[in-house]
């Protein structure tokens, strides 16, 4: 097994996002903004800020500035949570819909170009490998957390 597979696995998402970032730059979108919009759309409206931060993989306080900017652009709105007044729920606005369509088209285009030369069967197999590697990593994290708790 190649010694550098971990480095390649770490480098690939950065490369993938860098290509998407370059393509989305003319729309005035930073990586933080488009990733936030993309995740909010995929999670569905009404998400708590902390849940969105967790999905993106950032701390909730570091997401606040991005959410402020998206709200200023009228792409999202914050609404109070009926169950907990301290919690704000996030919703995409109608103005976000055409922008998200552009983002999706660019993301799909990049995906097709990055996977060029691979058959659907190879892509499916690659995805199954990634799923297994992720499951192994999550299992290692659980074991480590359990060992720390003991």
Looking at residue 28, what is its pLDDT?
87
Cα-based torsion angle of the residue sequence 28, 34, 36, 41 in order, rounded to the nearest 10 degrees: 120
* Residues recorded for the chain: 150
User: What DSSP assignment string belongs to 59-114?
Assistant: -HHHHHHHHHHHHHTTSEEEEE-SS-TT-EEEEE-TTHHHHHHHHHHHHHHHHHHH
Per-residue pLDDT tens digits for 100-135: 999 999 999 999 999 999 999 999 999 999 999 999
Residue showing tokens 């922008």: 99
Quick one: 61 exposed, middle or buried, by C-beta within 10 A (0-12, 13-18, 19+)?
exposed
CA end-to-end distance (rounded Å), the chain? 33
The pair phi, psi for residue 88, each rounded to 5°, is -105, 135
Mean of pLDDT over the chain? 92
Taking the whole predicted model, whether its pTM rises above 0.85 is answered as no
């Amino acid at each position: 097994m190649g010694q550098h597979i971990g480095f390649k696995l770490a480098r690939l998402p950065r490369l993938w996002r860098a290509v998407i970032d370059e393509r989305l730059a003319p729309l005035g979108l930073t990586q933080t903004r488009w990733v936030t919009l993309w995740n909010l759309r995929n999670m569905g409206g009404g998400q708590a800020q902390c849940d969105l931060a967790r999905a993106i993989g950032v701390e909730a306080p570091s997401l606040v500035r991005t959410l402020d900017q998206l709200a200023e652009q009228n792409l999202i709105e914050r609404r109070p949570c009926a169950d907990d007044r301290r919690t704000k729920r996030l919703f995409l606005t109608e103005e976000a819909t055409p922008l998200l369509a552009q983002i999706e088209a660019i993301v799909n285009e990049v995906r097709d170009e990055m996977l060029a030369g691979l058959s659907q069967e190879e892509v499916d197999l690659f995805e199954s490998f990634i799923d297994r590697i992720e499951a192994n990593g999550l299992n290692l994290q659980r074991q480590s957390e359990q060992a720390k708790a003991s």
